[in-house]
Structure 1
Amino acid sequence: MNKNILYIAIAVIVGLLAGWLIFGRSGSEASANMDVSEMSDTHDHSGESENQMWTCSMHPQIMQPEPGDCPICGMDLIPAESGADGLAMNEIKMTENAMALANIQTTIVGNGTRSEDDGMISLSGKIATNEENNAVQASYFDGRIERLNVNYEGQKVNRGQILATIYAPNLVAAQQELLTTASLKESQPELYKAVRKKLKNWKLSESQIDAIESSGNVRDNFPVYATVSGTVSEVMAREGDYVKQGQPILKVSDLNSIWAEFDAYENQISNLKVGQKIKVVTNAYANKEFDATVSFIDPILNNATRTVTVRATLKNTDNLFKPGMFVTGKLKGEMKMNNQVIIVPASAVMWTGERSLVYMKTNPNEPVFEMREVTIGNRNGENYTITEGLQNGDEIVTNGTFTVDAAAQLQGKKSMMNQGKKESSMMPMSEMEMEFSENFQRQFKMALKPYLRMKDALVAGDANQVSAFAEATSTSLKSTDIKSLGSMEQSHVKKSIEMLDAIATNDILENQRGHFVILNENLVPIVMSVNGTDAMLYVQKCPMANNNKGAIWLSAEKDIRNPYYGDAMLTCGSVIEEIE
Structure 2
Amino acid sequence: MSENEKPNGEMTFWQKTFFVIEVVNVRLRFILILVLTGFLIGYWDTIMNYYEKYTRPKNVADTVLVSNVEYFCPMHPNVIRDTHGSCPICGMPLSQRHKSESKIELPPDILGRVQLSPYRIALAGVKTAVVDYFPLEKFIEVPGTVEFDERKLARISARIGGRIDKLFVNYTGTTVKQGDSLAKIYSPQLLSTIDELLNISRSNKNIIKTIPGFEEAVKVNQSFAVSARKRLKYLGITDEQINQIERSGKTESNITIVSPIAGIVTKKYVVEGQYVDEGSPIFDVANLVMVWMQAKVYEEDIQYIKIGQQVSIKTSAYPNDFFNGTVAFVDYVVDKNTRTVNVRVDIGNSDLKLKPGMFLTAIIKVPICEIEPFKSASEKREPVHGGTKTIYYCPMHPEVRSDKADAVCAKCGGMKLVPMPVEDKKVIYVCPMHPEVISAEPGKCEKCKAFMDMDLEPRLVSATTGEVLVVPETAVIDTGMKKIVYIERESGIFDAIEVALGSRSGGYYPVISGLKKDDKVVAAGAFLIDAESRLNPIKRK
TM-score (norm. length: structure 2)? 0.39
In terms of fraction of residues, the more helix-rich structure is 1
The answer to which structure, 1 or 2, has the higher relative contact order (CA under 8 A, 6+ apart) is 2
In terms of fraction of residues, the more strand-rich structure is 2
TM-score (norm. length: structure 1)? 0.37
Bigger radius of gyration: 2
